[in-house]
């Protein structure tokens, strides 16, 4: 049996929910605002936790394999993102993050790649972790194994493919690299 917890009747009209698996849990915290949100779950035993004060629009897709997780911590805003989560992997987003439009989170390549000599698969899924107070600028992609630490900024159109352990840095480019350190950012608009 699938469970959607803490969803008001008025919010049901703003949500497109398609589930073809079993024992999935979707939890909405208090004061969650979403618009144009689609959740597609094509597997079982998945968990989606959206904490208090989150603002969210976009698509959440849990792929064919079971046991995927999405956790969005409190007071995070997501202007438009696609979450492609598969192969029993997770996306964790910390609190007070600001995530812009056209963002893609992808824990899996969706298709297997093999080494010719050994015939062993070489592209397994990996978790994505975005720590607290991170700003991800528009049209950026965060691929499997990405980690962005507290207080950091991901520049416009960046492709993050690895772990950035340092706090308070700007990363940018394709593939993303550190371009500035010892920064902090302010979510207030500049006119």
Query: How many residues in total does the chain contain?
Result: 191
Task: Give the CB-side neighbour count of residue 81, counting CA atoms within 13 A.
Answer: 28
Q: Is the pLDDT of residue 8 over 80?
A: no
**Residue 1: band (very low, low, confident or very high) from pLDDT cuts 50, 70, 90:** confident
CA 124 to chain centre: 18
Q: What is the mean pLDDT of residues 77-99?
A: 95
Neighbouring-strand partners of residue 142: 105, 160
pTM: 0.94
Contact 169, 154 (CB under 8 A): no
Percent of the chain with pLDDT over 90: 77
Check residue 102 and report its DSSP letter. Answer: S
pLDDT at residue 148 tops 90: yes
Question: Per-residue pLDDT averaged across 173-185, rounded?
Answer: 98
In DSSP notation, 18-82 reads EE-SSS-EEEE-TT-EEEEEEEEE-SSS-EEEE-TT-EEEEEEEE-SSS--EEEE-TT-EEEEEE
pLDDT over 70 for what percent of the chain?
100
pLDDT for 55-79, tens place per residue? Answer: 998 888 877 789 999 999 999 999 9
Confidence of residue 49 (pLDDT cuts 50, 70, 90): very high
Residue 191 has pLDDT above 90, yes or no: no
Residue 10 has pLDDT above 80, yes or no: no
What is the average pLDDT across 130-158? 99
Predicted confidence at residue 58, as pLDDT, reads 82
In the predicted model, is pLDDT for residue 31 greater than 90? yes
Report cis status (omega within 30 of 0) of the bond before 175.
yes
Kindly list the structural domains of the chain, giving each domain's residue range(s) and its CATH number in brackets, ordered by start: 1-25+35-103 (2.160.10.10), 141-191 (no CATH)
Cα–Cα distance, 179 to 1 (Å, whole number): 48
Cα dist. 128→33, 61, 107, 140, 177 in Å? 23, 15, 7, 14, 17
């Amino acid at each position: 049996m699938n469970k959607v917890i803490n969803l008001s009747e008025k919010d049901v009209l703003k949500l497109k929910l398609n589930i073809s698996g079993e024992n999935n849990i979707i939890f909405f915290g208090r004061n969650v605002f979403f618009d144009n949100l689609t959740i597609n779950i094509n597997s079982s035993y998945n968990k989606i936790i959206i904490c208090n004060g989150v603002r969210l629009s976009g698509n959440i897709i849990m792929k064919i394999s079971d046991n995927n997780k999405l956790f969005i911590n409190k007071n995070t805003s997501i202007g438009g993102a696609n979450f492609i989560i598969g192969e029993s992997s997770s996306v964790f987003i910390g609190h007070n993050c600001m995530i812009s439009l056209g963002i893609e989170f992808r824990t899996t390549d969706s298709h297997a790649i093999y080494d010719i000599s050994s015939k062993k698969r070489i592209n397994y899924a990996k978790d994505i972790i975005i720590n607290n107070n991170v700003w991800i600028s528009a049209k950026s992609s965060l691929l499997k194994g990405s980690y962005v630490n507290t207080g950091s900024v991901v520049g416009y159109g960046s492709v993050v493919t690895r772990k950035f352990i340092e706090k308070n840095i700007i990363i940018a480019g394709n593939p993303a690299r550190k371009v500035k350190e010892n920064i902090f950012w302010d979510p207030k608009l500049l006119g």
